[in-house]
Structure 1
Amino acid sequence: MLDTNALILLGGLVICLLLSHKQITALYKKIDTGYLKKYLSFSPSSSPAGSRKNSSYGAKLEPLPKPTPLMITPEQVKNYDDRPWRPFRWPYHQTMSIFKLDINHWLDMDKYYWHYIQEKERIWLKYGKENIDWLPGSEDACFELMETVVEHMTARYPLLFTVLEDKGSDGKIIKNELTKEVLDMTLPLKENPLIYVSKLAKEDFYIVKKNPEDGKHYLVAAAVPFPGGSFGIDHKIGKHLDVIHDDVPYYHEKLKKSMERWFERLAPENPVERASWYISWDHKLKVSNVYRIPKFEADTVADINSTDPKEFNVRVERQTLRRLPKSQAIIFTNHPVFYSIEEMKNEPLVPSLIKKIIYEGPKDIIKYKNFEVLRDHISTYLDSLIKRQIDKGIIKEDTPLKTLPTYPFAYWAKTDFDFVNGWLNPTVDKKKFDYSATAKDELVYEDD
């Protein structure tokens, strides 16, 4: 039988899942230091990791797919790119569009790693819990995520993340050889587990847990410095999937029921990935210029009209989903990858597909992705690329416009990525498409 303290704790966790973030915050402020606060706080002195020697932190995970070691050095990372995503479909329908994830590509490495980690630190210091936050009741999932990321990074990239000291159930001390930072993750932790995760991986992380009371999945913790759009985690945390996706076109009509069922069935050994995309003319990670509409509409329109169409890019949101075996939390990762339209100009049908989608795709998706705002400005440029492909014999005027057979990757990536350890972009001039320096100059708004 549960004792009184255990009943209080259990009740508190249920309440946390049912209430909104603001309600939880208000309730938590009323709780005196005691049993409930002790176990739901993430402060270094009172977190479960700091107060319970028998914490599950450090325990052996259930058997999961293991990554293949990729023996690359920090210097070699400078020549690595993400896989060449081309997630353009026609006909264009709103679907989950998921693929089986090779665990080697869960947390990929590329030449922009340093830029992403520096931006994460800048955004955390400036915006704090607007972009990284956790709710009471998410502790087990946060710890397990940290443990999983550490195990993955040290196994996949042994020369990039080295274990300086392994104290077993008391944690590890890791050195990030890319940033030269030593991360002391021994107990008691000095930071929330999500902070350590953000210093290791360039991806954003969403932690979703099922509430047994209503059977729905809720966002209980998140480290999301790079949402791209104008929202912050403070508007999403504590909400269930239906609320989080409320403004996503056709979600309620086409995806709502199937998504809850799919989340229910997702097994730890079957991770998946997908990719979505939109168009912008910057490389900002926190808030793309195109999503400043309508708040900064005047600036946005001026920016569009003054920007060379060749400078526009496709921002691919590369996403993965996997379940953690102990906490049963579902981890959703996302990170943006930028491809300039100019660098794809010789790829058969790519300019044609982009033009078709931004003008003839489902009207709600066109509006949601703000294609209407920029499409007329880049239309002539896209037409010139299409004509160029016809003139060069890359395509014919009557070539059927349809999803490429290599979807969701570029046609020239004739390889099975499940068996490729990393990806060296065969671009001749690698510096041509390295936007790291440019991205820093693009930070001009107060909320960047």
Structure 2
Amino acid sequence: MVDPALILLLLGVSISLYLSKTHIISFYDKFQKSGFQGLKSSSSTPSTSTTKGKSAYANGSVADEDGNIMPRPTPLMITPDQVSNYDDRPWRPFRWPYHQTMSIFKLDINHWLDMDKYYIHYIEEKKRIWLKYGKENIDWLPEGYDASFELMDVVSNHLIERYPLLFTVLKDGGAYDDDYSKAGTGKIIKNELTQEILDMTLPLKQHPLLYVTKLAKEDFYLVKKKPDGLHYLVAAAVPFPGGSFGINHKIGRNLDVIHEDVPYYKEKLQKSMERWFARMRPCDPVERASWYISWDHKLKVNNVYQLPKFNPNVEANMKSTDPKEFNVRVERQTLRRLPKSQAIIFTNHPIFYSIEEMKDEPLIPSLIKKIIYEGPQDIIKYKNFESFRDHISDYLDGLIKRQIDLGLIKEDTPLKTLPTYPFAHWVKADFDYINGGFNNPSASYDKKANYVDKYKTELVAEND
């Protein structure tokens, strides 16, 4: 099957650009107009500069050839102990009417690589998947080495600057030179969460993407433009695709081939996507989120996308699962260009939210019910809504009635996208919550809950 994370990101970019520029919504403008004044860091570096010069990573300063300054993160002083109880931003990317115009927001660089209480779980799973599946999920081509090396440098510098209490520099051998050849340059850092020491001084002991997988919990796709004018996947570290596909079948292929089965791609998306890539600058990163529903917490292959040949009991497992156990997997995605290699970087970070924990949020059950039954047919098919929606329909109806009885909504409350989209309605202000991140105010949410033990029991198929 086609990867839902990458495809939906490209759909969001391309269709939004195709329809009109008005669909490229400013992250900050949208939230500031709604009273969310605390999102933009006052210490953010301006996105442009009159100073010309080549890329530089020393002291965290990054500029492209046109002098556009890459934004730098503001330090967030959270400790390893605090991370164990830290909740990420509360995504709620539910829209109605559901059109193929997925909004893209300007990315606050502070949230390029977010932190949450499942960080160690994600890093451990990346290690397990690499050891078991190897280049099925993490692969690269020779022509992707420069982009992979630059990504390693950018990721490590970002994490050190954003989370100074979580990533400690043990040795700084200075910035890498332009061709990454000067022996001894680079850093040795300690990941205070995993206790692993990562020696990234030259010569490297491993491929750069393997260092990235030990640092960041996100998946990464690296795309470069070739002389034929098309963009090719030249490297990828994707342990958590969610669906039953392998990077080994996509590496080296251009995006047109990868997306040949995407609805409306050739008619409406192909040209606009190339135009978007051509004009994207390193100083203009963006983010978005898509979602689907499953009844497990697996990262590599969710049950909703599992193939019967790997798990013949998947349907019976679904029918025997209490609807309260179903969850929404949000695919939080970012898109940015690296200044040196000019590679375009896609990231994807899956986050699970149980439907039960969102039951006190006005209109959320109503939106989910509406979308899985009345959304566009190609999306219903793509996300396999038909395979489970009847099983959870009565449960959703009960949540909707409960909201009416509690006065959270009325029977005639208009069903539409919430004004706080793509986040929960209870988000009030700044996203930099130091002591534990966000707290869902619902009595149904247990902040100390952790699904890792349950996750281990869910790994039953040979491709999990």
CA distance in 1 between counterparts of 2:437 and 2:57 reads 34
Quote the sequence identity (%): 76
Query: Residue type matched to 1:364 in 2?
Result: D
Q: What does residue range 246-325 of structure 1 map to in structure 2 within 5 Å?
A: 246-295=260-309, 298-325=312-339
Counterpart contact for 2:287–2:332, Cα < 8 Å: yes
Question: Which secondary structure state, in structure 1, belongs to the residue aligned with residue 100 of structure 2?
Answer: coil
C-alpha displacement of 1:265: 1.2
Residue 364 of structure 1 aligns to a residue whose secondary structure is: helix
Aligned-partner Cα distance in 2 for 1:423–1:91: 34
Instruction: Give the stretch that moved more between structures: 248-257 or 395-404.
Output: 248-257
Give distance in 2, aligned partners of 1:362 and 1:433. Answer: 35
Q: Answer with 1 or 2: which has the greater Rg.
A: 1
In structure 1, the residue matched to 2:254 is 240
Corresponding residue for 1:207?
A: 222
Shift of 1:106: 0.2
CA distance in 2, matches of 1:222, 1:241: 14
| In structure 1, C-alpha distance between the alignment counterparts of 2:357 and 2:312, rounded to whole Å | 29
Match of 2:191 among 164, 169, 176: 176
Task: Report 1:289-368 matches (<5 A).
Answer: 289-295=303-309, 298-368=312-382
Once the two structures are superposed, what CA deviation does each residue of 1:87-133 show, in whole Å capped at 9, x if it has no partner?
00111112342100000000000000010000000000001000001
Deviations 1:257-297 (A, max 9, x none): 22221111111111000000000000000000111145457
Deviations 1:355-407 (A, max 9, x none): 00000111011001000000000001000001111111111111111111000
Quote the Cα distance in structure 1 between the aligned partners of 2:358 and 2:263: 28
Once structures 1 and 2 are overlaid, which stretch shifts more, 431-440 or 233-242?
431-440
C-alpha deviation, 1:57, in angstroms: 9.8
Query: Which residue is 1:439 aligned to?
Result: 455
Q: Distance in 2 between matches of 1:117 and 1:268?
A: 27
1:133-178 superposed Cα distances (whole Å, 9 cap, x missing partner): 1011111101100000011000000010011001113111010000
Q: Give yes or no for the alignment of 1:61 onto 2:93.
A: no
Per-residue CA deviations over 1:315-373 (Å, capped at 9, x if unaligned) read: 00000001000100011000100000000001111001000000011101100100000
Distance 2:337 2:274 in 1: 14
Mapped partners of 1:57, 1:143: distance in 2 = 14
- Say how many residue pairs are matched: 391
Distance 1:253 1:378, change over 3 A: farther
Once the two structures are superposed, residues 158-201 of structure 1 have per-residue CA deviations (whole angstroms, 9 ceiling, x without a partner) of 01001100111311101000000000111110100000010000
The residue type paired with residue 399 of structure 1 is T
**Amino acid aligned to 1:199:** K
Structure 1 counterpart of 2:322, one-letter code: D
TM value normalised by structure 2: 0.81
> Per the alignment, do residues 303 and 73 of structure 1 end up closer, same or farther by CA in structure 2, a change over 3 Å counting?
same
Name the residue aligned to 1:424: 437
- Determine the C-alpha separation between the residues in 1 that align with 2:253 and 2:435: 36
Q: Any gaps of 5 or more consecutive residues in structure 1?
A: 1-55
Moved more, 288-297 or 406-415: 288-297
Once the two structures are superposed, the pairs formed by residues 7-46 of structure 1 within 5 Å of their partners are none
CA distance in 2, matches of 1:82, 1:249: 32
SS at match of 1:367: helix
Question: What is aligned with 1:14?
Answer: none
1:282 and 1:313 in contact (8 A); partners too: yes
Is there any run of 5+ residues in structure 2 with no aligned partner, and where? 1-54, 64-68, 177-184
